[in-house]
Amino acid sequence: MSSRPSTAQRRLLKEYRELLREPTDGIVAGPVDENNLFKWNCLLVGPPGTPYENGVFRATMTFPKDYPLSPPKLKFDSPILHPNIYNDGTVCISILHPAGEDPMMYESADERWGPLQSIEKILLSVCSMLAEPNPNSPANVDAAKLWRDNREAFDEIIRKQVVKTLL
């Protein structure tokens, strides 16, 4: 880090210390290395009672230089089928959409990013999203269609992905 940390660096360090001091079940997150607070590794445990249960999903969170004014991006490194996750692993969830009104008028401004959000809240929201997909606003149309039309086949694919996360 430079001799005088930026607002973003101070905020990221503060959030990291909070995550260390008060860990949240099913979530582990921290900077890839101490010299770059703008890229984090994350581990999310699949929510109980879902096909994702017992999976340990790796993801990378990258932060813009003007964090917390702008939201980070979250991308799963582990293969994961989900209506709200693009095929490349990028998560599509309201909390990660830029602040302000939605040009498509689908989300309200209070569902979108705001500087008071936190890394912990983002990761908890993603865990909730895993448990309760929004098939009406899919990032992965094929996954949304499978989820709606053939839940048994959808769940079977997920269970196979869960096993792979544990190998």
Backbone φ/ψ region at 74: left (φ over 0), alpha (ψ -120 to 50), beta: beta
Q: Is 119 helix (H, G, I), strand (E, B) or coil?
A: helix
Q: Which of 37, 74, 85, 92 is catalytic?
A: 92
Contact 75, 39 (CB under 8 A): no
127 is an active site residue: no
What is the total residue count of the chain?
167
Q: Which residues of 74-107 are buried (b: 16+ CB within 10 A; e: fewer)?
A: bbbebebbbbbbeeebebbbbbbbeeeeeeeeee
Sign of CA dihedral 111, 90, 167, 120: negative
DSSP, residue by residue, 9-30: HHHHHHHHHHHHHS--TTEEEE
Residues noted as catalytic: 92
